[in-house]
Protein backbone atom coordinates (compact mmCIF):
# COMPACT_ATOMS: atom_id res chain seq x y z
CA UNK A 1 0.00 0.00 0.00
CA UNK A 2 1.21 3.49 -0.71
CA UNK A 3 1.42 6.20 1.91
CA UNK A 4 -1.49 8.28 0.58
CA UNK A 5 -0.84 12.01 0.75
CA UNK A 6 -3.62 14.25 -0.60
CA UNK A 7 -1.14 17.11 -1.16
CA UNK A 8 0.96 14.96 -3.53
CA UNK A 9 0.06 13.39 -6.85
CA UNK A 10 -0.26 9.57 -6.67
CA UNK A 11 2.74 9.05 -8.93
CA UNK A 12 4.90 10.54 -6.14
CA UNK A 13 3.58 8.38 -3.32
CA UNK A 14 5.92 5.96 -1.59
CA UNK A 15 5.11 2.68 0.14
CA UNK A 16 3.79 2.83 3.68
CA UNK A 17 5.09 0.45 6.37
CA UNK A 18 2.64 -2.32 5.40
CA UNK A 19 3.65 -1.89 1.76
CA UNK A 20 7.32 -2.28 2.66
CA UNK A 21 6.52 -5.47 4.58
CA UNK A 22 4.61 -6.73 1.54
CA UNK A 23 7.63 -5.98 -0.65
CA UNK A 24 9.77 -8.05 1.69
CA UNK A 25 7.45 -11.05 1.24
CA UNK A 26 7.76 -10.84 -2.53
CA UNK A 27 11.51 -11.30 -2.19
CA UNK A 28 10.82 -14.88 -1.14
CA UNK A 29 8.89 -15.75 -4.31
CA UNK A 30 10.78 -13.76 -6.95
CA UNK A 31 13.27 -16.05 -8.73
CA UNK A 32 16.96 -15.46 -8.10
CA UNK A 33 18.64 -13.78 -11.06
CA UNK A 34 15.43 -12.26 -12.39
CA UNK A 35 15.61 -8.97 -14.26
CA UNK A 36 13.73 -6.45 -12.10
CA UNK A 37 12.05 -3.51 -13.82
CA UNK A 38 9.57 -1.05 -12.39
CA UNK A 39 7.72 2.03 -13.42
CA UNK A 40 9.35 5.29 -12.41
CA UNK A 41 6.88 5.70 -9.55
CA UNK A 42 8.52 5.28 -6.12
CA UNK A 43 5.92 2.82 -4.81
CA UNK A 44 6.56 0.44 -7.72
CA UNK A 45 10.34 0.66 -7.49
CA UNK A 46 10.21 0.18 -3.70
CA UNK A 47 8.12 -2.97 -4.19
CA UNK A 48 11.04 -4.68 -5.94
CA UNK A 49 14.02 -3.12 -4.14
CA UNK A 50 14.20 -5.82 -1.42
CA UNK A 51 14.67 -8.37 -4.22
CA UNK A 52 17.68 -6.74 -5.90
CA UNK A 53 18.77 -4.02 -8.28
CA UNK A 54 15.78 -2.39 -9.96
CA UNK A 55 15.85 -0.62 -13.31
CA UNK A 56 13.02 1.78 -14.17
CA UNK A 57 11.04 2.41 -17.32
CA UNK A 58 8.41 5.15 -17.63
CA UNK A 59 6.48 3.00 -20.10
CA UNK A 60 5.32 0.96 -17.09
CA UNK A 61 3.93 4.03 -15.29
CA UNK A 62 0.26 4.11 -14.39
CA UNK A 63 -2.26 5.71 -16.74
CA UNK A 64 -1.61 9.41 -16.99
CA UNK A 65 -4.74 11.16 -15.80
CA UNK A 66 -6.27 14.30 -14.40
CA UNK A 67 -8.13 12.77 -11.47
CA UNK A 68 -9.50 14.54 -8.42
CA UNK A 69 -8.33 13.19 -5.06
CA UNK A 70 -11.82 12.93 -3.62
CA UNK A 71 -14.87 11.06 -4.84
CA UNK A 72 -15.30 7.50 -5.99
CA UNK A 73 -11.97 6.83 -7.69
CA UNK A 74 -12.71 3.10 -7.97
CA UNK A 75 -15.84 3.71 -10.04
CA UNK A 76 -13.99 6.23 -12.24
CA UNK A 77 -11.11 3.83 -12.84
CA UNK A 78 -13.34 0.83 -13.43
CA UNK A 79 -15.36 2.75 -16.02
CA UNK A 80 -12.12 3.81 -17.74
CA UNK A 81 -10.94 0.20 -17.93
CA UNK A 82 -14.25 -0.84 -19.47
CA UNK A 83 -14.20 1.86 -22.14
CA UNK A 84 -15.34 5.22 -20.77
CA UNK A 85 -13.24 8.14 -21.97
CA UNK A 86 -12.49 10.63 -19.20
CA UNK A 87 -11.23 14.09 -20.16
CA UNK A 88 -7.53 14.42 -19.34
CA UNK A 89 -6.91 10.65 -19.18
CA UNK A 90 -4.36 8.92 -21.39
CA UNK A 91 -6.03 7.08 -24.27
CA UNK A 92 -6.24 3.32 -23.61
CA UNK A 93 -4.60 2.45 -26.94
CA UNK A 94 -1.64 4.62 -26.03
CA UNK A 95 -1.29 2.85 -22.67
CA UNK A 96 -1.38 -0.64 -24.20
CA UNK A 97 1.06 0.37 -26.97
CA UNK A 98 3.68 1.83 -24.61
CA UNK A 99 3.32 -1.04 -22.15
CA UNK A 100 3.56 -3.68 -24.87
CA UNK A 101 6.61 -2.03 -26.42
CA UNK A 102 8.29 -1.99 -23.01
CA UNK A 103 7.51 -5.68 -22.43
CA UNK A 104 8.98 -6.63 -25.81
CA UNK A 105 12.11 -4.57 -25.12
CA UNK A 106 12.74 -5.99 -21.63
CA UNK A 107 12.00 -9.58 -22.68
CA UNK A 108 14.78 -9.24 -25.27
CA UNK A 109 17.14 -7.74 -22.65
CA UNK A 110 16.28 -10.49 -20.14
CA UNK A 111 17.49 -13.06 -22.69
CA UNK A 112 15.67 -15.99 -21.11
CA UNK A 113 15.94 -14.89 -17.47
CA UNK A 114 12.69 -14.30 -15.60
CA UNK A 115 11.43 -10.76 -16.10
CA UNK A 116 9.67 -9.17 -13.12
CA UNK A 117 7.83 -5.89 -13.73
CA UNK A 118 6.42 -3.74 -10.92
CA UNK A 119 3.68 -1.64 -12.42
CA UNK A 120 0.18 -0.38 -11.71
CA UNK A 121 -3.32 -1.76 -11.89
CA UNK A 122 -4.97 0.13 -14.70
CA UNK A 123 -1.99 0.10 -17.07
CA UNK A 124 -1.33 -3.60 -16.48
CA UNK A 125 -5.00 -4.51 -16.83
CA UNK A 126 -5.32 -2.66 -20.15
CA UNK A 127 -2.21 -4.38 -21.53
CA UNK A 128 -3.32 -7.82 -20.30
CA UNK A 129 -6.73 -7.27 -21.88
CA UNK A 130 -4.94 -7.09 -25.23
CA UNK A 131 -2.03 -9.48 -24.57
CA UNK A 132 -3.94 -12.22 -22.79
CA UNK A 133 -7.59 -11.64 -23.74
CA UNK A 134 -8.82 -11.05 -20.19
CA UNK A 135 -12.42 -12.22 -20.07
CA UNK A 136 -13.49 -9.53 -17.60
CA UNK A 137 -10.95 -6.71 -17.29
CA UNK A 138 -12.98 -4.82 -14.67
CA UNK A 139 -13.23 -7.89 -12.42
CA UNK A 140 -9.51 -8.59 -12.86
CA UNK A 141 -8.67 -5.02 -11.89
CA UNK A 142 -11.04 -5.05 -8.91
CA UNK A 143 -9.43 -8.27 -7.62
CA UNK A 144 -5.86 -6.92 -7.63
CA UNK A 145 -4.09 -7.23 -4.28
CA UNK A 146 -1.25 -5.18 -2.89
CA UNK A 147 1.22 -6.69 -3.44
CA UNK A 148 0.28 -9.09 -6.21
CA UNK A 149 2.37 -11.23 -8.51
CA UNK A 150 1.31 -12.73 -11.83
CA UNK A 151 3.00 -15.03 -14.27
CA UNK A 152 2.19 -13.88 -17.80
CA UNK A 153 2.93 -15.94 -20.88
CA UNK A 154 2.28 -13.79 -23.96
CA UNK A 155 2.93 -16.81 -26.20
CA UNK A 156 0.01 -18.78 -24.75
CA UNK A 157 -1.87 -15.58 -23.79
CA UNK A 158 -2.27 -16.76 -20.19
CA UNK A 159 -2.16 -14.95 -16.86
CA UNK A 160 -1.82 -16.84 -13.59
CA UNK A 161 -1.65 -15.39 -10.10
CA UNK A 162 1.39 -16.71 -8.28
CA UNK A 163 -0.13 -18.23 -5.18
CA UNK A 164 1.97 -18.03 -2.05
CA UNK A 165 0.92 -18.12 1.59
CA UNK A 166 3.43 -15.30 2.12
CA UNK A 167 1.42 -12.94 -0.06
CA UNK A 168 -1.76 -13.48 1.88
CA UNK A 169 -0.17 -12.88 5.31
CA UNK A 170 0.48 -9.26 4.39
CA UNK A 171 -3.16 -8.24 4.18
pLDDT > 90? residue 124 = yes
Crossing angle for the helix pair 92-110 and 121-131, to the nearest 10 degrees: 80
User: Strand pairing partners for 160?
Assistant: 151
| Per-residue model confidence as pLDDT tens digits over 147-169 | 888 999 878 889 999 865 454 44
User: Strand pairing partners for 55?
Assistant: 37
pLDDT score of 163:
67
Residue 2 lies in a domain: no
Domain that holds residue 14: 10-169
| Per-residue model confidence as pLDDT tens digits over 56-75 | 999 999 999 988 777 788 99
Q: Are 152 and 132 in contact (CB under 8 A)?
A: yes
| Per-residue model confidence as pLDDT tens digits over 72-86 | 889 999 999 999 999
pLDDT score of 170:
40
Residue 1 lies in a domain: no
Q: Are 99 and 19 in contact (CB under 8 A)?
A: no
> Is the four-CA dihedral 128, 130, 133, 134 of positive or negative sign?
positive
pLDDT score of 147:
81
Give the separation between CA 18 and CA 157, rounded to whole angstroms: 32
Residue 3 lies in a domain: no
The larger pLDDT score, comparing residue 89 to residue 5, is at: 89
| Strand boundaries in 39-144, DSSP class E | 54-56, 115-118
**Does an H or E element contain 35, and which?**
strand 35-38
Residue 65 lies in a domain: yes
Q: What average pLDDT does the structure give for the chain?
A: 89
Q: Are 37 and 137 in contact (CB under 8 A)?
A: no
Residue 142 lies in a domain: yes
| Per-residue model confidence as pLDDT tens digits over 88-120 | 999 999 999 999 999 999 999 999 999 999 999
Q: For the chain, what is the domain count?
A: 1
| CATH classification at residue 89 | 3.40.50.1240
Residue 4 lies in a domain: no
Residue 18 lies in a domain: yes
Residue 86 lies in a domain: yes
The larger pLDDT score, comparing residue 6 to residue 84, is at: 84
Amino acid sequence: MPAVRPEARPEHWELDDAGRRGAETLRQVIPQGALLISSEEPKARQTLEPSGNVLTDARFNEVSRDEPYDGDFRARRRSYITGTNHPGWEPRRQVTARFGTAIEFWVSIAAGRPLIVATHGMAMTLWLTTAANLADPAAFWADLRLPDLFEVNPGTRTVNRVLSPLLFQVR
